[in-house]
Structure 1
């Protein structure tokens, strides 16, 4: 009941323990919450952080900025386009060629409320990027995650960035028929993708209990995710309002918005395992009835596995 009181006192500077010897991957680490997550984790002496991102120039610029703040931080670029299974496979293979352990996987990258389109494999772009791409990436890294979990004193985490936007998912929670997604709006498609992030964490924890898998809502934050929305007339009108709300403390800035996923990645393991979904900061949340539906989580897990097999994954 009083989780939020404990979490509100948690800060990355004071409460992230030493990460010495640990290896971390953060997807979407070149901007926004992802870059701030890499920066904060780098301050606690991990063995290496892999900043996974699509565009090399943006990733290298982010790494340069992070290393100015943390000169001894060991941060490497891992090229990853979550909308392409081929790119996901290459990224996983590249990582496994460089590291024999993985302690923290932060599935942070995502897109929001984009116009209807499809990934290379034919999935609706938000569902394909936010869920399918991360599900495949996590699956390919599972042998390394599980091997690491067997080592003495291991504490292996998989953290999925979700959102209260999952409340906007369509009736039934998940529309498995990808063609049907063309007939619903961009926010409902976003809601489905974010719901899938919660359900994936729930099922991953069930199938692999040696891992700590959870999902979270970071708070309402103005990040690059709003770029497609801000280009619309409504988004342009709303932008100064959001700026005022941020100054008033009603919206989070990026450093504060990162705290909940840092909490999920580094707070006490037994506490984090108490829920499949967390609100800021470290406040246990239930989510919608679909987010709590274990049968739906298992159905999505099995459906995703079958879809990945169709693509030789």
Structure 2
């Protein structure tokens, strides 16, 4: 697309048409010798991010997911770039049937690092604790933590303890993982020349939490653990978790010295854009057969492929600009170097504090009093 067209076409449309987000594979530094952990790294946005990490030479790529067959297909794609070997729902996100040229098989980089699978069901906090303990014991370093896994827009379902599975999977499991792995991340940040990052995926839908948690929209500010059991309806359940990502990120910056504004560890949150992933399949159980299919078809035309949705995450976790730029800890990006300007709810001190306190109280209730270690 020429410069004249770029000037008149809205930026979001330009990026979707050209797959140009202002940051390219060639700008990513060599990652050899480093270790990355990624939840949800075997499908959707996480899978494309895994592919990029591997291409750029990451020595150890640890993927947390629940299905071995999906991981096996993902590993084949990560190593080859062959979309036909990838999980079916990932392939379906590319309407043209092919990857954008830059990251296909033609990419000049050839990764040779290890790709490690850790089986974990993120709705089982006891299992999450066990896996986190294993990783903390086995790994010598951890340079990059990427929290991507989660349930999309779907019907309400409670855990055996009565808590909303959206919040448990999308948020509480990641609170527990980060708590257990922060000592290793901090240790790595003290190695000369290291570049440690924590990036979690939020969404612009964090603005749409009608029914809660803020009082303005009908909630009770997450003031008690009971509000974590509240059914808000399919869309709002998802939106609440994306708000919670921002609340938790800001809570970390506030409460954890090793993630304070002067910390060598950089911590950010991102928005991927409207992305075609397997999550759209969840519209059917959420809204019923007919309505779910209609909704899926209605939104699919405007969606980015999974590869495009990954660039805000890739830029935040790997770019020199995100490391050296004048960005505050906990900044929320909607595209590479593009500030997200999050909602007032996500900056509400009371909501931040209530999520910080009650998320950890629930983890200790479910996974045991010893589930969490001191943050510093």
Q: Does 1:221 align with 2:285?
A: no
Q: Which residue of 1 aligns with 2:337?
A: 282
Tell me the alpha carbon deviations over residues 82-140 of structure 1, each in whole angstroms, 9 at most, x when there is no partner. 11112211221222233121110000000022222123443211011111111111111
Change (3 A) 1:307 1:239: closer
**C-alpha separation between the residues in 2 aligned to 1:241 and 1:193?**
24
- The 3-state SS of whatever aligns with 1:184 is coil
Q: Does 1:190 align with 2:200?
A: no
Change (3 A) 1:280 1:97: same
Change (3 A) 1:126 1:178: farther
Shift of 1:71: 5.6
Aligned partner of 1:30 among 42, 57, 71: 42
Aligned partner of 2:120 among 65, 72, 80: 80
**C-alpha separation between the residues in 2 aligned to 1:183 and 1:103?**
37
- The 3-state SS of whatever aligns with 1:117 is coil
Q: Which residue of 1 aligns with 2:94?
A: none
Contact 1:264 1:272 survives alignment (8 Å):
no
Shift of 1:263: 0.9
Tell me the alpha carbon deviations over residues 204-251 of structure 1, each in whole angstroms, 9 at most, x when there is no partner. 233222221111110001111111104532231233333433xxxxx2
Contact 2:201 2:270 survives alignment (8 Å):
yes
Shift of 1:299: 2.8
Change (3 A) 1:261 1:196: same
Q: Does 1:255 align with 2:255?
A: no
**C-alpha separation between the residues in 2 aligned to 1:12 and 1:289?**
32
Equivalent runs, 1:195-210 vs 2, <5 Å: 195-206=243-254, 207=256, 208-209=259-260, 210=263
Contact 2:37 2:146 survives alignment (8 Å):
yes
**C-alpha separation between the residues in 2 aligned to 1:235 and 1:89?**
35
**C-alpha separation between the residues in 1 aligned to 2:301 and 2:204?**
21
Aligned partner of 1:41 among 50, 53, 62: 53
Change (3 A) 1:160 1:18: same
Question: Which sections of structure 1, spanning at least 5 residues, go unmatched?
Answer: 246-250
Change (3 A) 1:234 1:212: same
**C-alpha separation between the residues in 2 aligned to 1:121 and 1:159?**
29
Q: Which residue of 1 aligns with 2:175?
A: 135
Normalised to the residue count of structure 1, the TM-score between the two structures is 0.89
Shift of 1:183: 4.4
Q: Does 1:167 align with 2:217?
A: no
Deviates more, 1:297-306 or 1:172-181: 172-181
Q: Does 1:14 align with 2:14?
A: no
- The 3-state SS of whatever aligns with 1:151 is coil
Change (3 A) 1:306 1:161: same
Question: Which sections of structure 2, spanning at least 5 residues, go unmatched?
Answer: 1-10, 82-109, 215-220, 372-376
Q: Which residue of 2 aligns with 1:237?
A: 294
Contact 1:51 1:78 survives alignment (8 Å):
yes
Q: Does 1:58 align with 2:70?
A: yes
**C-alpha separation between the residues in 1 aligned to 2:115 and 2:149?**
17
Over the residues paired in the alignment, what is the CA RMSD in angstroms? Answer: 2.3
Aligned partner of 1:96 among 122, 136, 160: 136
Contact 1:223 1:254 survives alignment (8 Å):
yes
**C-alpha separation between the residues in 2 aligned to 1:121 and 1:153?**
44
Shift of 1:12: 3.9
**C-alpha separation between the residues in 2 aligned to 1:154 and 1:71?**
20
Moved over 6 A (4+): none
Between the two proteins, the alignment pairs up a number of residues equal to 304
Tell me the alpha carbon deviations over residues 30-83 of structure 1, each in whole angstroms, 9 at most, x when there is no partner. 110111110011111112100110112211221122122356242111112111
